[in-house]
Amino acid sequence: MGYVECVEEIIIGEDKMIQFKGCQSNGACTIVLRGANSHILEEAERSLHDALCVLTQAVKNTKFI
């Protein structure tokens, strides 16, 4: 799918971020899901899928209320 030289978690203030260094292509987007267990990750993945489906339909059909 892709290649990156380094993936690291950095802390800025009180926020934690994941930083990707050395990406081959800067044109891609990545979503990283983290959770305490597989159940939470599965729920997060389903929620993300639902949100992307809504976004896709909103872009295709601009006539919505």
Q: How does pLDDT run across 1-39, given as a tens digit for each residue?
A: 567 888 899 999 998 888 888 887 766 677 778 788 999
Angstrom distance (rounded) from CA 22 to CA 4: 5
Angstrom distance (rounded) from CA 58 to CA 60: 6
DSSP label at residue 37? S
Angstrom distance (rounded) from CA 60 to CA 43: 26
Q: Is the pTM of this model over 0.85?
A: no
